[in-house]
Each structure stands twice: as C-alpha cells, then as structure tokens.
Structure 1
Amino acid sequence: MNHFRLFAVKFIGSLLLLYLILSFGYGVTFGSVFLITLVLSLSYIGDAFLLPRLNNTLGTIGDFVFAFLVIYFMGVGLTTGMEWFTASLIAAIGIGVFEYFFHKYVQNEFDDAHKNERTPNRNLEAQTEASKETHPFNSEYLDVDPEDFDRR
C-alpha cells in the first residue's frame, strides 16, 4: 500500500473537482482553490487510520462536513465580496460524492495489502471438552462404589 500514491489521487481529484466548481462557477482564483484543496487533502490521515474502523457512509458524511467547513471558512478568509454558503454547499456535495468512491478505492488498496500478509490459519472458536462419564466417580477405574458417595 502506497500512502503517497493514495494521497496524490485524493489531492489531484479534489483539485480538479474544486477547480471546476469554484473557478468556473464562482470565479475563485486557482491559488485559492489550490490552498483549499491542500487543507482538504489532509483529511487523508483520517481516511488511512479511521476508515478501516468505520464504514464508508460514516467516512463520507465526516468528509462532507469537513469539506463544507473548510471551504466556507477558507473561502471567506481568502476572498471578499462573495456568497460562500451556496458555493461551499455545492462544492462539499461534489467532494462527498468523490470521497464515497475514493473510500472504496482506499478500502480495496487496504484489502489487497493485507491479503498478501501471511496470517496463521487458526480456528479461534471456543470449544468444549466432552467425555463419556456422567458421574465423577467411575467404578471401572476406582475401587469405590459410587452409591456410597450419593448418600448423605
């Protein structure tokens, strides 16, 4: 598993998507889109470490919320005179759709990497021990009459 390659896929995919939405739709400069994408791509750390423990839906929802907040607050800070709520919402929806498929790709990469690891073939199910004896004192092996112990 190559984390640099996965990070590059996320960065380039997010950059292209945000450039199409924010630059062509709202006139945001490439430099602002690049900085927003750089901060958004840092969420790969969460994809690498939290995604194997969570499912794809929770990861996508988390990335959508993170993308909306980052795009909105960075957009307000980097530019002036623009309504950022609608732009952030549309861009975050696009990022959410991208992240859904990116998470599937990351999970496949993790599965392929772990498939090559050698794991011992152990049956970890709990088992019980059974025997033929129904009484703790078996007269076959002891010179004791079990009837003597049953009377109190």
Structure 2
Amino acid sequence: MEHIKLFAWKFIFTFAILFAILGAGFDVSFGNVFLISLVLSVIGYVVGDRLTLARTKNTTATLVDFVLIFGVVYFMTEALTVGDDVFEATAFSTIALTIFEYFFHKSVARNLDEEKMEENTQDNFAPKGELRTEASEELTPYDDDDK
C-alpha cells in the first residue's frame, strides 16, 4: 500500500511541475503533459526510486533520474508536439523535476528503511551478510544438591 501512495505522490508532483512548465510555459496540451507525466512516473519510480536508490545513495539516484528525466521528456515532447523550443522546455523541466526528485528520494529511503526494519522484526533472522550473537543463561550439568 505504501508503494501506491509513494507512486501517487510522485505522479501528482511530476504532473504539476510539468503542467506548470510545459503546459503554461510552452503550450503543450493537457493530454500530452498527462501522458509524459505518467510514463515518466512509472519509469522513474521503478528505475530511479526502487532499483537505483535501494542500491546506492541519494546523489547517485538523483543523477540517474536527471538523465532519465531529460531523455523521456525530450523524446516524448519532440514526438508529441510541434514546437521549436523543445530543448529549452526539456532543460527547465529536467532541472525542476531533479530538485523534486532529490527530496522525494528522502521519503522513499525512509520507506525502504522502515520495510527493512519490519522484515527484520517479523522474521527475527539476521539480514543477509549480518551476524548476530546469541545469549542465554548459564547451564550447568549438575544440580545445586550435588555440590
């Protein structure tokens, strides 16, 4: 359920940012902005947030998202619209969305940490690569009466 909520937030903010930049600033239609936002949110959540961020740090995931955002926005805007300012629109959109992604990754990282903690407490096993010590009371092979 948490993934759906995170994806919904990502889509809403991506759409709002792209609509403000592409829709209002560069006259891209509502439907095209919606389609670009949807494709970018799906690919970005899977590649940037779930795969890259889970294995690297926020800065690396943000750089991956920067390249991903630029590619998706540029090629989709070029394919869907007939405008001369595609590079300029893509540059503004990429910068704004990358700033958003940096802060969004912090939320996703918190969610990943909470999931790991829940898995560890539910299974009561050490995560792969971690060692734990055992503790118990001392056991003696004789009773107190045998002394």
Give the aligned residue type for 2:21: I
SS in 1 for 2:24: helix
Quote how far apart the aligned CAs of 1:4 are: 1.1
How many residues align? The count is 124
Q: Which has the larger radius of gyration?
A: 1
Quote how far apart the aligned CAs of 1:120 are: 4.3
Name the TM-score, length of structure 1 as normaliser. 0.76
**Greater CA drift, 47-56 or 29-38:** 47-56
Name the TM-score, length of structure 2 as normaliser. 0.78
Identity between Structure 1 and Structure 2 (%): 45
Gaps of 5+ in 2: 127-131, 134-147
Tell me which of 90, 94, 98 is aligned to 1:92.
Answer: 94
Quote how far apart the aligned CAs of 1:82 are: 2.5
Give the aligned residue type for 1:70: V
RMSD: 1.7
**Greater CA drift, 108-117 or 32-41:** 108-117
Rounded Cα–Cα distance in structure 2 between residues aligned with 1:5 and 1:82: 36
Give the aligned residue type for 2:90: S
Rounded Cα–Cα distance in structure 2 between residues aligned with 1:57 and 1:86: 24
Give the aligned residue type for 2:22: L
Counterpart position of 2:143? none
Counterpart position of 2:2? 2
Higher percent of residues as helix: 2
Rounded Cα–Cα distance in structure 1 between residues aligned with 2:3 and 2:23: 29
Counterpart position of 1:13? 13
Runs of 4+ displaced beyond 6 Å: none
